[in-house]
Structure 1
Amino acid sequence: MSDDEHESKPARDRSQVTIIDIARMAGVSKKTVSRVINESPLVREETRKKVKEIIAETGFTPNPQARALAFRKSFLVGLVYDNPSPQYVVNMQRGILDTLGDTAFQLVLRPCDRGDENYRERVRSFIVQHKPHGIILTPSVSEDETLAEILREEECDYVRIASLELDVPSRSIRTHDAQGAEMAAAHLAQLGHKRIGHIHGPKTFRSAHERLSGFRSGLESYGLELAPELTVEGAYTFDSGVSSATRLLNRRDRPTAIFAGNDEMAVGVYVAARKAGLRIPEDLSIVGFDDTPISARIWPPLTTVRSPIREVGRAAADLLLKRGSGSENLEELQSFQLELIVRESTRSV
């Protein structure tokens, strides 16, 4: 064949390259190519690299609609939450996107109100309409066993994030909230505080109960008691932090320190303290929970319990993808330890 004939022969359009072509060129099965495309861990690294190189060379682009049809699911990962702390939700999203970034999966948000008696059916409708690959549940919706049962009924995969074990390890990410609250209690007790207030989250959140019990237990280890009159329910919001702290600081026997159940409420305590003419930490020590960015930016910087929210989101998404790929060895529960970050909002008395 002459050079002219070679040149006149049309090259194959890249859009016509199929997954079967990729499998043939790589010398592997179509299923293996599919696993590589879907980031399955069940592929040897050498094979993965070879298949990806051929995909890059040919310009092959998987068809999302065809893939979704094959799996009878979309390539959406849903984040279902009712957490009133905006920063918590943002950090969780960032963590999930860290994992999804190099995959075909996209994150879709589904906020809900657990106080709405129809919220479970709204979540069900979302699942039926969008057929997500899976759902990540954060507190407190993750603590709703009825919702988890609905997801199982609809054959929708899920991962639950919670401060205690609620499900099998392959569906769970655990945070040790009680342990973190114990650290906060120990810190304030070691500074010599004896009259300590606590603003906890809503009773509908298991995390609020865990942090309250952990804080109470931590104080008891130092021979101290959390006085009922110094224990106030907040809503994990800034405004509830202001109003709750105002109640505590208006008392004649006001506390010398306050542990807030999250950083949003702790910032509210700052505002209430300054309105009352109190200096931080000279007149009032404050401890928060979560270590969100605001804790290091407010003045004085907030002492807080660091909850690795972004890392938790990353792990939850990774677990969901591994479940979808049929990965084995998921029977070990993933849990995250917390850490006390001491800054300038606390001092000895």
Structure 2
Amino acid sequence: MPARKPPAAPAPRPAAGKAATITDIARLAGVSKKTVSRIINHSPLVRKGTREKVQALMREVGYAPDPLARGLAFRRSFLIGMVFDNPTAQYIVDMQYGALDALRDSGYELVVHPCDTRSPDCVDSVRRFVQQQKLHGVILVPRASEGQALAEMLTAINCNYARIVPADCDDQAGRLIVTHDRDGAAEVAGHLLALGHTEVALVTGPSSARSAAERTEGFLQAMAAGGIDIPASRIIEGDYSFESGVAAGETLLARRRPTAIFCSNDEMAAGVYKVAARARMNIPRDLSVVGFDDSPLASLLWPSLTSVRRHTRESGRIAAAALIRAESDPLPVASVRPHLIVRDSTAEPLRAPASA
């Protein structure tokens, strides 16, 4: 009998420290590069057993497709851009996490680009970013999403985009994710009225931001509907930063003190906490404080902060999912509804308002 051939030696793994290539994966799996490419791009033209074998091998050697190389092969990019102008770091991080949730295992990658919407070079800067990266699409995050200039520029260069906006605006339905900030602020007013607060102050966001206007108008209108008109002296403009919250708190608590302050984001609320602590005021016995965003900061503050949850991560996920969805399957306007999370920073007023 002829001697049986010994089994073929297993194909060698890539050298330590060297990134695996699509050629390595094809050689190790005993399939063609075309088959590996089909698996990477979720083609249905591959048998289940082969797909599972190749995917397991890619995980084993830590192989990740290069989105730029794929873009060259497919004559299109596998990059999604996120453009933002927002001083609140946690908000942007949560938005990125949401987008990454949607892009996971899709073959697309996320690249970010901060901008200054007040700069005359803003639109040109974003255009250069989009064209240099050859982006498949762009997520516009507030405040960058609130004006029309960036949206019009992206339309002109034929770049798809999704806008996360605080209120509905004039644009194609499938491009909008509306967060309904006005409704969240109105819920804050209802909560404070139900507790019995009549001496109430407001720290707004910057007047240039649509989100700030929506929250301000929603809060003031709901308070007025409940019979409470807030005087201009108790409305202080901030810029969504901790420092502006401190400055607003110093101004408000140096006058005839309110029993409650609504801040248009959590960072400014934290600034008010600092001023209250310096004045030896107890929250919520002496002063109720409410924020907006329900960021992780809201749970870290002591006492924990009552705040409007607006599902930032979910907004980012919906926006990214819309951009990688088939063009033949358009989306309606997406809504992400806010709601108030009541914690320990609000209570019934236990005293008549006092001077500082």
Give 1:206's aligned residue. Answer: 210
Structure 2 residue aligned with 1:236, among 240, 246, 255? 240
Structure 1 residue aligned with 2:176, among 161, 165, 172? 172
In the alignment, the residues of structure 1 paired with residue 80 and residue 336 of structure 2 have an alpha-carbon distance, to the nearest angstrom, of: 22
Q: 1:37 to 1:189 in 2, by over 3 A?
A: same
* Letter matched to residue 326 of structure 1: E
Give per-residue Cα distances to partners, 1:74-114, cap 9 Å, x unaligned.
32211110111111011111111112222322211101111
* Letter matched to residue 334 of structure 1: A
| 1:248 and 2:223 are equivalent in the alignment | no
Give per-residue Cα distances to partners, 1:101-129, cap 9 Å, x unaligned.
22322211101111211111111111111
Give 2:310's aligned residue. Answer: 307
* Letter matched to residue 197 of structure 2: H
In the alignment, the residues of structure 2 paired with residue 255 and residue 90 of structure 1 have an alpha-carbon distance, to the nearest angstrom, of: 33
In the alignment, the residues of structure 1 paired with residue 47 and residue 198 of structure 2 have an alpha-carbon distance, to the nearest angstrom, of: 60
Give 1:192's aligned residue. Answer: 196
Alignment of 1:104-183 (within 5 A): 104-166=107-169, 167-183=171-187
In the alignment, the residues of structure 2 paired with residue 61 and residue 331 of structure 1 have an alpha-carbon distance, to the nearest angstrom, of: 30
Give 1:29's aligned residue. Answer: none
How many Å apart are 1:337 and its aligned residue? 1.0
How many Å apart are 1:158 and its aligned residue? 0.9
* More displaced stretch, 12-21 vs 91-100: 12-21
> Is the contact between residue 262 and residue 290 of structure 2 (CA under 8 Å) also seen in structure 1?
yes
In the alignment, the residues of structure 2 paired with residue 215 and residue 122 of structure 1 have an alpha-carbon distance, to the nearest angstrom, of: 35
Give 1:26's aligned residue. Answer: none
Q: 1:129 to 1:123 in 2, by over 3 A?
A: same
* Letter matched to residue 176 of structure 2: S
Give per-residue Cα distances to partners, 1:215-264, cap 9 Å, x unaligned.
0121122111121111111000000000011111111x221110000000
With the length of structure 2 as denominator, give the TM-score of the two structures: 0.84
> Is the contact between residue 181 and residue 211 of structure 2 (CA under 8 Å) also seen in structure 1?
yes
Give 2:26's aligned residue. Answer: 15
Give 2:327's aligned residue. Answer: 326
With the length of structure 1 as denominator, give the TM-score of the two structures: 0.85
What SS does the aligned partner of 1:135 have? Answer: strand
* Letter matched to residue 56 of structure 1: Q
Give 1:79's aligned residue. Answer: 82
Sequence identity (%): 43
Gaps of 5+ in 1: 24-32
How many Å apart are 1:282 and its aligned residue? 1.1
* More displaced stretch, 267-276 vs 256-265: 267-276
What SS does the aligned partner of 1:340 have? Answer: strand
Q: 1:47 to 1:206 in 2, by over 3 A?
A: farther
In the alignment, the residues of structure 2 paired with residue 21 and residue 101 of structure 1 have an alpha-carbon distance, to the nearest angstrom, of: 21
In the alignment, the residues of structure 1 paired with residue 338 and residue 56 of structure 2 have an alpha-carbon distance, to the nearest angstrom, of: 45
How many Å apart are 1:64 and its aligned residue? 4.0
In the alignment, the residues of structure 2 paired with residue 130 and residue 51 of structure 1 have an alpha-carbon distance, to the nearest angstrom, of: 34
What SS does the aligned partner of 1:158 have? Answer: strand
How many Å apart are 1:178 and its aligned residue? 0.4
In the alignment, the residues of structure 2 paired with residue 199 and residue 106 of structure 1 have an alpha-carbon distance, to the nearest angstrom, of: 37
* More displaced stretch, 47-56 vs 121-130: 47-56
What SS does the aligned partner of 1:283 have? Answer: coil
Alignment of 1:327-342 (within 5 A): 327-328=328-329, 330-342=330-342
In the alignment, the residues of structure 2 paired with residue 260 and residue 55 of structure 1 have an alpha-carbon distance, to the nearest angstrom, of: 53
Structure 2 residue aligned with 1:288, among 269, 287, 291? 291
Q: 1:78 to 1:297 in 2, by over 3 A?
A: same
Number of equivalenced pairs: 329
Q: 1:348 to 1:53 in 2, by over 3 A?
A: same
| 1:317 and 2:331 are equivalent in the alignment | no
In the alignment, the residues of structure 2 paired with residue 331 and residue 13 of structure 1 have an alpha-carbon distance, to the nearest angstrom, of: 39
In the alignment, the residues of structure 2 paired with residue 274 and residue 218 of structure 1 have an alpha-carbon distance, to the nearest angstrom, of: 29
Question: Cα RMSD between the aligned structures?
Answer: 2.8
* Letter matched to residue 26 of structure 2: S
In the alignment, the residues of structure 2 paired with residue 179 and residue 2 of structure 1 have an alpha-carbon distance, to the nearest angstrom, of: 81
* Letter matched to residue 97 of structure 2: R
